[in-house]
Amino acid sequence: MPHSQRPWRSPVPCSIGSHCTSDRTLADARLAAVSRISAPVQRVIDAAARKGVQLEIRHFDQTTHTAADAAAAVGAEVGQIVKSLVFVSEGANGPRPCLVLASGANLVDIGLLAAMLTEPRVRRATADEARELTGFAIGGIPPFGHTQSLRTLMDPDLGRYEQVWAAAGTPNAVFAVAPATLRALSNATVTPIALVRQSPTEQQAASATSA
C-alpha cells in the first residue's frame, strides 16, 4: 500500500476484558469515519451499489494530477489508469456531451471520435462545461454517477488488463475495477478512439520513404 494512502477502518466493538469505550464514543467514532466520505465520492459509491457493485475507495493525501501520478500512487501501469474525458459536439440545439473512458497511455483522436459519433464538430469540454455536465470537477470525474446520463465510449485498450483504476469523484480518490464491470457500470460502448502512434521503427521507415 502506498505510504500516501489514508486507510479507512470502521470502529469495531471491544472484546470482553479489554478496555472498552462508551457507546457514545463508539457512535461518535462511527460518525467521524462516515463523514470522511465526501459527497462526490458517495455519489459514485451509490451509483455502483445500485448495480450491485461494491467499490473499495482509496484516498491519497495529495491529488494525482496526471495518469502517471495516479499510476505511481497505486503501483499500476499508466495504461491501467482510466481517463474520464468530457467532449461536446456542436449541434443546432446546443452542445451535446460525450464521455470518453481512455487508457492513460493513449491520446484521443478527435477525428476518429467525431466519426464514431457521426458529428462533424467535436471538442473537449471546458472545465465549467465538464462540471455542469457531470457534476464533478476535472481531475476527479468518475466514469459514472453523473448528474445526467452521458453517451459513453470506452477505449478497448483498457480491456488488456485484469483491473483498471478510475477517479472516484475527487482528485485524491480512486477505485479499482475490472474492465468488464467498468463497461457495465458506465453503460459504455467499446470502440477505438485512440490516436495511433507510430513505433520508432515505423517512424524511421516513414522518414526514409519521404526523403
164 lies in a domain?
Answer: yes
Q: Which amino acid, one-letter code, is at 79? A: G
Q: What span, in angstroms and rounded, lies between the C-alpha atoms of 163 and 124?
A: 27
First to last CA, the chain: 51
Residue 51 domain-assigned (yes or no): no
Residue 208 domain-assigned (yes or no): no
The three cell numbers of residue 159 are 480491456
Q: Is residue 104 part of a domain?
A: yes
Predicted model pTM: 0.77
Q: Which residues of the chain have pLDDT under 70?
A: 1-35, 197-211
Length of the chain: 211
pLDDT at position 98, please? 96
Look up residue 78 and give its three cell numbers: 499508466
Range of the domain at 110: 57-190
Looking at residue 197, what is its pLDDT?
61
For the chain, the domain total comes to 1
Give domain status of residue 151, yes or no. Answer: yes
Q: In what order do the strands lie in the sheet with 173-177?
A: 57-59, 173-177, 164-167
Task: Please report the pLDDT score of residue 18 as a whole number.
Answer: 38
The pLDDT tens digits of the residues spanning 97-131 come to 999 999 999 999 999 999 999 888 999 999 999 99
Q: Please report, for the domain that includes residue 116, its CATH number.
A: 3.90.960.10
In a domain, 126, yes or no: yes
**pLDDT for 11:** 38
Classify strands 173-177 and 164-167 as parallel, antiparallel or unpaired: antiparallel
